[in-house]
Structure 1
Amino acid sequence: MIDHAHDLASVQEATDRLLTAVAKLDNASVARPSRLPDWTVGHVLAHLARNADALTNVLDGHRMYASGEARDADIARDAPRPLDTQLTDLRESDARFRARGAEPADWTRTVELRNGVTDTAARVPFRRWGEVELHHVDLGIGYELEDLPEEFTEREIDFLAARFLAHPDVPATRITDGTRAWHTGRQASRPEVTVTGRPADLLGWLAGRRGEAVLDVSGGTLPALPPL
């Protein structure tokens, strides 16, 4: 069962780690490239702040973003801001999200995210936790997939494997770290491909952040996954 209160506490811990690390940067660092194509460090920080507000909208029963174009425009607008402004915005938007999450609510209700995706309200804090952890890695400032909390890594692998389950363009795939196993892709009586690797590397592949070089693939080639 999803424990939204536990996940909200994990969001706070992850955000505190992020803010502590980013506070050691300078204004010049905001303009340098991140690990995401065409995005600077400032773009990633702006996205994290706006995503917190967007998920607050979701919990309030509103549209996550006014539109895809508005989302992109807000990130582009906020990306060049000085470091202290970025930090304040991220801290305050995170506080708004967690305050909304702490209010009494029906956590079994269905909420709508982007592109018509729906989920239970109780899973929204975990989705926010994923945003903070993975984008901390994307900043390229010394926090790596191997540094992610073990609980988060395992649950995010679960989440992403389920996201691609029954996807017609992904072959039936068994994913394993040698101890645990997950399945994704098309439904079949037996997997077409087996992907083996360390948890951090498996997560990196599922999240579009690492490729075949760090994984052992048998039965075929490493499946190409749809974008998140």
Structure 2
Amino acid sequence: MMDHAHDLACVREATDRLLTAVAALDNAALAEPSRLPGWSRGHVLTHLARNADALVNVLEGRPMYASAEARDTDIERGAPRPAEVQVADVRESAARFQDAGAAPADWTRTVELRNGVTDSASRVPLRRWAEVELHHVDLGTGYELEDLPAEFLERETGFLAERFSGHPDVPAVRLTDGTRAWTTGREAGAPGITVTGRPADLLGWLAGRRDGASLTVDGGELPKLPPL
């Protein structure tokens, strides 16, 4: 069972780490490319701020974004803003998300995200935690997948394995870091391929942040995963 209060606390801690890191960046640094193709660091920070507001919308029963076009426009418009404005936006939007999470609510209810995707409200804090942690890595400022909290690595690996479970384009795969194991793919009950690696490398591959070259593959080739 999801513990939304615990996850909200984890989001707060991850956001504090992010804000400490980006406080040292100046305007020139924010204009530099991030690790995400076509996005500067300013794009990443603007996305994080607008994602926080979007998840407030989700928790409060409104559409996550007005439209895909409006989402993209907001990111492009916000990306070149000065560093101090960007940092303040991330901080203030994060506070709005925490406030929405603290409001009395039925956390077992079903909520709607983008593209018609639905989920339990209790998993929204975990989704936000993933946004903050992975995009912190995407900034390319020295925070790496290996620096992610062990709990996050395990839970996000499980979350992404579940996301690809039953996907027609992903063969049956067993994932393991040597102590824990997950199954995924179109026939997750009887995987024919075993992928072994360190927690950071497994998550990096599942999340599209690493190519999987450091992973060991038995029973076939490393599958090509569809975009998240």
Cα shift at 1:190: 2.6
Q: Secondary structure at the match of 1:35?
A: coil
Q: How many residues align?
A: 228
Separation in structure 1 between the aligned mates of residue 213 and residue 204 of structure 2, nearest angstrom: 12
Q: Secondary structure at the match of 1:136?
A: helix
Alignment of 1:80 with 2:76, yes or no, is no
- C-alpha deviations, 1:96-143, integer Å up to 9, x for none? 010010011000000000011000001001100000000000000000
Pair 71,144 (structure 1): closer, same or farther in 2 beyond 3 Å: same
Separation in structure 1 between the aligned mates of residue 52 and residue 122 of structure 2, nearest angstrom: 15
Percent identical among aligned pairs is 75
Partner of 1:173: 173
Q: Secondary structure at the match of 1:119?
A: strand
One-letter code of the match for 1:145? Answer: L
Partner of 2:35: 35
Cα shift at 1:189: 5.2
Partner of 1:118: 118
Separation in structure 2 between the aligned mates of residue 82 and residue 148 of structure 1, nearest angstrom: 28
Structure-to-structure mapping, 1:186-225, within 5 angstroms: 186-187=186-187, 190-225=190-225
- C-alpha deviations, 1:27-61, integer Å up to 9, x for none? 10010000000000000000000000000000010
Alignment of 1:70 with 2:65, yes or no, is no
- C-alpha deviations, 1:181-225, integer Å up to 9, x for none? 100001265312111000000000000001131101111111111
When the two chains are superposed, the root-mean-square deviation of aligned CA atoms in Å is 0.8
- C-alpha deviations, 1:39-97, integer Å up to 9, x for none? 00000000000000000000010000011111000000000000000000000000001
Unaligned residue ranges in structure 2 (runs of 5+): none
Q: TM-score, normalised by structure 1?
A: 0.99
Runs of 4+ in 1 over 3 A off after TM superposition: none
Asked if the contact 2:201–2:210 (Cα under 8 Å) also holds between the matched residues in 1, the reply is yes
Unaligned residue ranges in structure 1 (runs of 5+): none
Partner of 1:25: 25
Asked if the contact 2:202–2:212 (Cα under 8 Å) also holds between the matched residues in 1, the reply is no
Q: TM-score, normalised by structure 2?
A: 0.99
One-letter code of the match for 1:150? Answer: A
One-letter code of the match for 1:55? Answer: L
Separation in structure 1 between the aligned mates of residue 14 and residue 68 of structure 2, nearest angstrom: 26
